[in-house]
Every structure is written in structure tokens, then in C-alpha cells.
């Protein structure tokens, strides 16, 4: 959006502005244009309590969602924007595997989902958006949580908030080869479509692995918003 770009440009021109960047690509860009002045790095984070402790096992889920659960196949989930940076070709390959039901929660940010033809695929279900206050009750019912994004300039500079929410949910995570996702041991990376599908199979086996779940929890707790605030303040102390 133009207003965001204008703020970014203003920040680059004014070294008095305190700046926090959330991805290595942004860090390098800001560093090259205004130097390491009033600059802090912090990836995004999670409201750990909300996604770990506020799951209501008795929450009344809609029939449309429970009917997908009743199909008996593992649920591969995603929530967030459906936009041009979403890898619909990968989504189609997951559908064609016939091993998983794919559930998508969120908004259609542009017309990319409709153009993809995904609404015609039998194992893919777009369920619309859910309020943040109850989102965890749906995500907790899924088996594997994913971020199937294309690799481009946008996603290379993205620290996905949902990544840390997935960790707090203690659900196996599979993503494409995004720079900011690669930093975490708990994240299974699919460098191409074939490997992504293989990682889904591996993730299903890990969903009951207590050692892996402990790793997810550890990385979630290292990335709470409280920890992020502490890190940012520490970096800015010299000012």
C-alpha cells in the first residue's frame, strides 16, 4: 500500500526515527540506506497464552468444519490471507495426493484463490475467516499447520506471525523455503513441491512425538511478544 511505502521511505530518510525490522532482508535494506542507527531487529512473535492455554475443547464448531473432521483423513491447515504469494500449484498437488483434507481459514486478499480453481478441488476446503478470539479452537483440531508460500521478494522479507502461533499450538509445521522460517529447528522445510509433500508425511508421524512437541513449545516460548519487547528494548538501551 502507498501509505506504508511512504512511511518506509520517510524512515529511510530520517535517522531520528527508531526502527524495528522483522526480517533479515529488511535489516540489510535499511542498513545499506541509513546505517545501523536507532535500528533494532526482532522477528514477529506470539501471544503464547492465547494459542497454548485458551483452547476450548467444547467449543461448538460448525457442521461444515466437523464434517471435514469426520472424513477421517489427516487435516492439513492454514490460516491467513489467500493472495498472489500463496503457492496454489503446491496446494493442487496436496489435493491430488488424496491423503489429506486441506482446510483454509482466512480472507481472499485478491482474486488469486478464485483464479486458481481451488474451489473445484475435492480435498480443499475454504472456510472463510474466524475471529482471532476463537481461531485457536479451529487450529487445535488440525494435524499439521502449513505456510505454503511462493518464494519471492515479499515472502523473503516476511516473518510470519502464524509461524509462532503454530509453535504455541504445538502442531507440526511445514513451510516452503522462506528465509525467516528456516531459522527454527521445529519447522520442516520443503525446498520444492516434492519435498514439501514428503515433509507433510513426516509431520503426521511427529504430531504425537513428545520430544518434537517439546521443541515446538521451547521455540514458542522464545518468541513470545514479551521476549520480543525485551529484545528490542535491550538493543535500544544505548540510546
> pLDDT digit string (tens) for 61-85?
999 999 999 999 999 999 999 999 9
More confident residue, 174 or 236: 174
Burial group, residue 172, by CB count within 10 angstroms (0-12, 13-18, 19+): buried
Q: Which residue has the cell 521455540?
A: 219
Average pLDDT over residues 160-167: 98
Percent above pLDDT 70 for the chain: 100
**Do 165 and 147 meet the contact criterion of CB atoms below 8 Å apart?**
no
Average pLDDT over residues 116-134: 97
pLDDT in tens, 111-123: 999 999 999 999 9
CB atoms within 10 A of CB 24: 16
Gyration radius of the chain's alpha carbons: 19
pLDDT in tens, 46-61: 999 999 999 999 999 9
CB atoms within 10 A of CB 206: 19
Would you list the DSSP string of 38-89? SEEE----B-HHHHHT---TT----HHHHHHHTT-SPEEEEEEEE-TTB-HH
Check whether 105 has a pLDDT greater than 90.
yes
What does residue 15 show for φ and ψ, rounded to 5 degrees?
-75, -5
DSSP H or E run through 11:
helix 2-13
- Structure confidence at residue 239 as a pLDDT band (50, 70, 90): confident
- The rounded mean pLDDT for the chain is 97
pLDDT of residue 1: 84
Burial group, residue 53, by CB count within 10 angstroms (0-12, 13-18, 19+): exposed
Distance CA 143, CA 9 (A): 42
pLDDT of residue 134: 97
Amino acid at each position: 500500500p502507498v501509505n506504508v511505502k511512504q512511511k518506509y521511505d520517510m524512515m529511510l530518510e530520517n535517522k531520528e526515527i527508531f526502527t524495528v525490522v522483522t526480517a533479515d532482508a529488511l535489516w540489510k535494506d535499511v542498513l545499506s540506506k541509513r546505517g545501523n542507527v536507532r535500528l533494532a531487529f526482532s522477528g514477529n512473535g506470539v501471544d503464547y497464552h492465547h494459542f497454548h492455554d485458551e483452547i476450548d475443547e467444547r467449543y461448538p464448531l460448525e457442521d461444515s468444519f466437523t464434517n471435514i473432521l469426520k472424513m477421517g483423513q489427516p487435516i492439513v491447515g492454514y490460516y491467513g490471507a489467500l493472495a498472489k504469494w500463496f503457492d496454489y500449484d503446491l496446494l493442487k498437488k496436496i489435493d491430488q495426493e488424496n491423503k489429506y483434507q486441506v482446510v483454509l481459514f482466512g480472507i481472499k486478499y485478491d482474486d488469486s484463490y478464485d483464479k486458481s480453481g481451488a474451489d473445484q478441488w475435492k480435498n480443499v476446503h475454504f472456510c472463510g475467516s474466524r475471529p482471532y478470539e476463537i481461531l485457536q479452537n479451529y487450529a487445535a483440531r488440525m494435524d499439521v499447520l502449513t505456510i505454503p508460500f511462493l518464494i519471492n521478494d515479499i515472502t523473503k522479507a516476511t516473518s510470519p506471525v502464524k509461524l509462532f502461533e503454530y509453535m504455541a499450538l504445538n502442531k507440526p509445521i511445514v513451510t516452503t523455503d522462506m528465509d525467516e522460517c528456516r531459522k527454527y529447528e521445529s519447522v520442516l522445510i520443503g525446498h520444492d513441491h516434492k519435498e514439501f509433500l514428503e515433509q507433510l508425511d513426516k509431520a503426521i508421524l511427529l504430531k504425537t512425538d513428545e520430544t518434537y512437541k517439546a521443541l515446538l513449545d521451547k521455540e514458542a516460548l522464545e518468541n513470545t511478544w514479551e521476549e520480543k519487547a525485551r529484545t528490542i528494548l535491550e538493543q535500544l538501551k544505548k540510546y
